[in-house]
Each structure stands twice: as structure tokens, then as C-alpha cells.
Copies of this chain bind each other. A is one copy, B any other.
Amino acid sequence: MTRPPHTQPADDALPPAKHHAHPPAIILVKPQLGQNIGMVARAMLNCGVTDLRIVAPRDGWPQETAYSTAAGADVVLDNATIHETTADAVKGLTYVAASTARMRGMTKPVVSPAGAAAEIIARNTGDVTTCGLLFGAERTGLENEDIVLSDAILNIPLNPHFTSLNIAQAVLLVCYQWHSYSGAMPDWRLETNEGDIAPRDKINYLVDRLEEELVRANFFKNPDMQPSVMQNLRNTFIRMNLTDQEARTMHGVISALIERR
């Protein structure tokens, strides 16, 4: 599940390239507060998810309070579609996961955000939206009649002693998981604004030169220790991942210390 730190994945372990991944629809069933709809839109657009479907919003549509909390994600709100029923909102979809913390006496698969994201990445590969995520009203959540229309229950694993999660935070977690699976960035890379990482021979040369200077300075009181001390020093320098420029700086540091001596 987790990739070991400090390793780049093999090409075939990478998630599918971004242009094959089509985002899911986010379906809000009977949302109560316009400000929550706005924060949902913001979280969606953060993750490149734009298909918002709203079933029977309590306070009608459009709502000014939604725009005020969307932090600029107006495009999502402008293109939101309004539906009378959940059945109408899921038309055309072939996979629907319904977010709920409570199990409902129904036999259904239960997926985490990662599980839902993997399903959506695997299924929603074409140009049309075939996957959707259902979220219920803030206070009451989804009704069983909504959940039965879904393929799976989406359960966000949280601290069992503190599960209070705003609807926009729930949408953010699931959309982010989809977005990160869709090839957003590797889990680890080395940023080198200054230039290239120094090749191993330059590091070896640096350590060889350091050893030479240390011998001249009688650093090795006991010559038997020299190989193991130098192995440790070489290991340290290689772990530093020096750039070419940083390696040159290290040469300068050695030269300066010699001069001073």
C-alpha cells in the first residue's frame, strides 16, 4: 500500500496518466447550507473535479452564500445541475458510492476513499462521467432509499473517538485521493533548483581528496581505523545527495580549512 520512502516507482507501478482519468460526479442530496455547497465546490476544483449535481437543495438554487465560500470556484457552481430525485441525479452512472458513517443493514461493499478512488480510476476512463459519489444532508446524512441506489458504501476511516467531519472536508478527502491516484505527482522526488545532482565519481573524488588531506593532517592516529572511518565518511557524503555546485562548495571548504592550517 505504501511505497518505501526514497525510491522512485518503476514505470509500470505509476498510476494511469492523467488524461485517461475522468473525474467522478459529486452528488449532494438535500444539502441545507449554501456555504457548505460553496466549500464543496472549492474542494472539488482543488482536485480537478467539476461535475456537481445537487438534489433538492433546501434553500433553492442558485444561492449567494455558496458563491461567497467557494473562494473563486465559481465555474463549478455555475455548471451545477439541479435534480428533483437522487435517481435522476445518478442517471448515466454505472458506479456510485454513498458516503455514510453508519452501516444500514444492507449487504454492500464498503470502500475507503482510497478504495473508491481505485474503483473510479479503473472504471471512469472514457470521456463521459460514469462514476459518482453521494453525500447526504449535513444533519441527517443519506436516506436508505439513496444508499440502495449505490454500488458501495463510502466510509472515511477516522479517529473513532472524534469523527466530526464537515461535508466539504469529506468531499476534499475523497476527491484528493482520486486526484492523487490520477497521476498528480510522485510521492518522492528531489528538487534541485541549482542544477544536477553530482555524479558518483565526483563525490568519490571529493571523499578521496578529503582522505588525502586527513592523512596529511594526521587525523588517523590509529591507521587501522582509517578504512572504517573513511567508509563512514563516504557513506555520509553519498547520503547528502550533493549537487555539482554543492560539491564544488565542499571542495572550497576543504581548501579553506587547509589554508587556515
Chain A residues within 8 Å of B, Cβ to Cβ = 1-6, 9, 13-15, 42-43, 45-48, 71-73, 103-115, 117-119, 121-122, 153, 155-159, 162-165, 169, 172-173, 176, 179-181, 184-194, 241-243, 246
Q: Are the CB atoms of A45 and B153 closer together than 8 Å?
A: no
**Most central of A9, A180, A246 by chain B CB within 10 Å:** A180
Q: Are the CB atoms of B107 and A192 closer together than 8 Å?
A: yes
Interface of A is mostly: loop
Could you say which residues of chain B place their CB within 8 Å of the CB of A157? 179-180, 184-185
Could you say which residues of chain B place their CB within 8 Å of the CB of A113? 180
- Known contacts being A48-B159, A162-B46, A162-B72, is A181 close to B2, with CB within 8 Å? yes
Q: Are the CB atoms of B5 and A1 closer together than 8 Å?
A: no
How far, in whole Å, are A194 and B106 apart by their CA atoms in the complex? Answer: 7
Residue of B nearest to A95 (CB): B5
Could you say which residues of chain B place their CB within 8 Å of the CB of A189? 109-110
Q: Are the CB atoms of B185 and A112 closer together than 8 Å?
A: yes
A13 is contacted by which of B1, B107, B172, B246 (Cβ under 8 Å)?
Answer: B1
Q: Are the CB atoms of B181 and A159 closer together than 8 Å?
A: no
Could you say which residues of chain B place their CB within 8 Å of the CB of A185? 112, 155, 157
Q: Are the CB atoms of A114 and B172 closer together than 8 Å?
A: no
Residue of B nearest to A122 (CB): B5
Q: Are the CB atoms of B3 and A169 closer together than 8 Å?
A: no
Q: Are the CB atoms of A111 and B162 closer together than 8 Å?
A: no
Residue of B nearest to A45 (CB): B162
Shortest CB-to-CB span from A204 to chain B, Å, is: 19
